[in-house]
Amino acid sequence: MATNSEVEMSPAEVDALLSRHETGVLALARDDAPYAIPISFGYDADERALFLRLVSTPDSEKREFLASTPRARVVVYEDDGDEYASVVGVGTLERVDLDELTPETIAQYGEAQRPLFEIWADDKPDLDIELYRFTPETLTGRTVVVERDDE
């Protein structure tokens, strides 16, 4: 029989987890329809903001959801044997206009793993690459330790 202990993370622990990871899951909701996708991101602990580069095509479900300015959740987690940690941010994605980019914000997008421009086997003239900033209204984390009985 396993027992669990669950501890809420401090803001510093949340920042540390987000700073050491570059991937997570973005979940969007519109009306009664959910949509979730894997993402890569850069994280700024001082601003507590995630920077995302999202690629879509004109007929993609992703583009439909992003156009509706949906509520969003970002989930980042790690699993290390008997310890599991996760961070959840809740808020709204903000599209960043290219005119508003500064060298500092460009550096944040550089932290994301997904390259700004990708090479595709086939020509993708309608490929849309948009930059987003996610400053969560709430940002919480938990650590769960599973203590297993030796058998």
List the domain boundaries for the chain: 4-146
Q: What is the pLDDT along the chain (151 residues), one digit of tens a residue?
A: 466 788 999 999 999 999 999 899 999 987 788 899 998 888 989 999 998 888 888 788 888 888 777 789 999 999 988 899 999 999 989 888 777 766 666 655 554 444 444 444 555 556 777 888 999 999 999 999 887 766 5
Q: Can you point out the beta strands (E) in 81-117?
A: 83-96
pTM of the model: 0.79
**Domain 4-146, CATH among 2.40.30.10, 3.40.50.2300, 2.30.110.10, 3.30.70.1250:** 2.30.110.10
Residue 8, phi-psi category: left (phi > 0), alpha (psi -120 to 50), beta (remainder):
beta
Rounded to 5 degrees, φ, ψ at 49 are -130, 145
In this predicted structure, what is the pLDDT of residue 120? 45
Q: Is 90 exposed, middle or buried (0-12, 13-18, 19+ CB in 10 A)?
A: middle
